[in-house]
């Protein structure tokens, strides 16, 4: 299938590691010019190098999506450098789990500020440019955890918020040729997850509720993201695609 995105500009946040990195690589393989944005400058740099070595086009950007001014500047830089942004993959995120009774204000706010407000910051800067050109694809990273999980009130709320943001903007931007969709991954085998001391427990608990008895791979999320980011998905908007081995709740 020709995805129709050759030479398009794709900005992927949190692209230094895990799912975001897989998305950046996959978009580059389809011929996109990829902006690899991450708060971790070293990770963004090595991801961009990696893509360039594989004969893709990439630009590394150190960016904290939770801060509005740097996002504004970064978008202006990309527009000046590459002339437009066709695809935004809002992937940057993190978790700081804990029981609700002792969840600190910072623990709540930090997760909301990156996972939800960070997506708002990026869309606010980029969607008007897309709308002015009459074309755009926005893919937001939600999570199966929007259904809820123990010790994840902050994370689940942020990801449920991502779904609300996605559906509202699908309606708001539909007439201007910009689609807004979300993907909701379940348990995905990233390096970060594999390093967690409680990895075996998390894995066993997740697999118990999954019809497909294995963890997902970052590339499997990237495949879905690339399709939703492509010219071929133009009649799909406001959708939340679960990539969770059949586990929903
Ligand atoms: P996942 O399993 O979702 O892929 P990772 O932790 O492997 O999780 O990847 C998330 C990426 O998001 C990391 O590269 C991390 O540096 C990045 N990130 C976290 N917070 C921010 C932020 N505020 N701005 C930009 N990128 C961020």
Whole-number Å distance between alpha carbons of 185 and 182: 10
Residue 246 is assigned to a structural domain of this protein? no
Residue owning tokens 């990895």: 199
CA of 1 from ligand 1 middle (Å) equals 30
Whole-number Cα distances in Å, 241 to 34, 84, 166, 179, 223: 23, 27, 12, 14, 12
The gap between the terminal CA atoms of the chain, to the nearest Å, is: 33
Q: Using 50, 70 and 90 to split pLDDT, how confident is the model at 189?
A: very high
Q: Classify the complex by whether its ipTM is higher than 0.95, answering yes or no.
A: yes
Residue 57 is assigned to a structural domain of this protein? yes
**Residues 163 and 240: beta-carbon distance below 8 Å:** yes
Domain residue limits at 104: 9-235
Residue 227 is assigned to a structural domain of this protein? yes
Residue 242 is assigned to a structural domain of this protein? no
pLDDT for res 58: 98
Q: Which ligand 1 atom sits closest to the C-alpha of 91?
A: 12
Left if phi > 0, otherwise alpha if psi is -120 to 50, otherwise beta: which for 89? beta
Residues constituting the chain: 249
94, 96, 144, 221: residue to mutate for ligand 1 pocket, most atoms within 8 A of CB = 94
CATH code assigned at 70: 3.40.50.720
Does the CB atom of residue 64 touch ligand 1 within 6 A? yes
Q: Using 50, 70 and 90 to split pLDDT, how confident is the model at 174?
A: very high
Q: Which ligand 1 atom sits closest to the C-alpha of 14?
A: 12
**Which among 53, 218, 29, 41 is positioned nearest to 141, based on CA atoms?**
218
Measure CA 35 to chain center: 13
Residue 48 is assigned to a structural domain of this protein? yes
Quote the pTM value.
Answer: 0.98
pLDDT for res 193: 93
Q: What is the pLDDT of residues 26-54, one digit of tens each?
A: 999 999 999 999 999 999 999 999 999 99
Q: What is the pLDDT of residues 55-110, one digit of tens each?
A: 999 999 999 999 999 999 999 999 999 999 999 999 999 999 999 999 999 999 99
Buried b (16+ CB within 10 A) or exposed e, 162-178: bbebbbebbeebeeeeb
| Domain count across the chain | 1
Cite the active site residues.
155
Residue 37 is assigned to a structural domain of this protein? yes
Residue 47 is assigned to a structural domain of this protein? yes
pLDDT for res 173: 98
């Amino acid at each position: 299938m020709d995805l129709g995105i050759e030479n398009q500009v794709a900005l992927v946040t949190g692209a230094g590691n895990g799912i975001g990195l897989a998305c950046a690589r996959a978009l580059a393989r389809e011929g996109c010019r990829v902006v690899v944005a991450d708060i971790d400058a070293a990770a963004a740099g090595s991801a961009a190098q990696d893509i360039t070595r594989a004969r893709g086009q990439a630009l590394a950007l150190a960016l904290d999506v939770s801060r509005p001014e740097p996002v504004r500047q970064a978008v202006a830089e990309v527009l000046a450098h590459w002339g437009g942004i066709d695809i935004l993959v809002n992937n940057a995120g993190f978790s700081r789990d804990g029981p609700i009774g002792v969840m600190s204000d910072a623990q709540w706010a930090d997760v909301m500020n990156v996972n939800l407000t960070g997506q708002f910051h990026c869309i606010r800067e980029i969607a008007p440019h897309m709308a002015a050109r009459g074309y755009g694809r926005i893919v937001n990273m939600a999570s199966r955890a929007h259904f809820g999980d123990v010790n994840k009130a902050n994370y689940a709320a942020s990801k449920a918020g991502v779904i609300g943001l996605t559906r509202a903007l699908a309606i708001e931007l539909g007439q201007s040729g910009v689609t807004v969709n979300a993907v909701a991954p379940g348990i995905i085998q990233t390096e970060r997850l594999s390093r967690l001391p409680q990895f075996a427990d998390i894995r066993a608990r997740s697999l118990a509720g999954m019809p497909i008895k294995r963890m997902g791979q970052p590339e499997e999320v990237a495949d879905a993201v690339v399709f939703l980011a492509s010219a071929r998905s133009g009649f799909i908007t406001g959708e939340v695609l679960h990539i969770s081995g059949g586990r929903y709740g």
